[in-house]
Amino acid sequence: MLMEKYNSLKNKTKKRPQDIVLQEKLHDIHLVFQRLEMEMADHYIGSEDFLKLLAEKISQSAYLKNADIYIDGFYSFTPLELSVLEQLFMNCTNVKLALTLDRPYGAEERLNELDLFFETAKTYQELSDVCSRTKVKVEEAVVLKDLSIPVSALTPFRG
């Protein structure tokens, strides 16, 4: 974003004096951040870097080769989390993933953004795409039906 503003000012043909000052300040800030990143690169690692490192190292783990992995409680994944999952799918014995959906969704199925399960259905399609791309065998989806809860289970306890 910083460089986008800098470049737009740099490419501007008619510059006001304050545009020139802002352009120079943005350039200076960019140089400071660039140097800061270089200095910190060898000393600090951020949470995003941990996921990237994890994705790179999963294939080298003997422990994970024989692991059964269970993943539950998510409705979406960041691109870095998806890359970790991809590596788990390809390198672990068994990966089970639970998503809260009303039904399985096809890879090419068009989703309605107003649907209650939109975000999770999109995730289901992304995961299906990862499995298809990496040629990972996918078991048939398990859909739990008739989950009627007795009314007494919803009644608050009164002692």
Tell me the C-alpha distance between 143 and 54, whole Å. Answer: 31
Nearest to 5 by CA among 37, 32, 27, 34: 27
Is the model more confident about 127 or about 9? 127
Is the model more confident about 72 or about 11? 72
Report whether pLDDT(127) > 60. yes
Q: Where are the domains of the chain?
A: 2-41, 54-134
Please check whether residue 126 is in contact with residue 78, taking contact to mean a CB–CB distance below 8 angstroms. no
Mean pLDDT for 61-88 is 92
pTM score, whole prediction: 0.62
Please check whether residue 88 is in contact with residue 69, taking contact to mean a CB–CB distance below 8 angstroms. yes
Please give the CATH number for the structural domain made up of 54-134. 3.40.50.300
Please check whether residue 143 is in contact with residue 104, taking contact to mean a CB–CB distance below 8 angstroms. yes
Radius of gyration over every alpha carbon of the chain, rounded to an integer in angstroms: 24
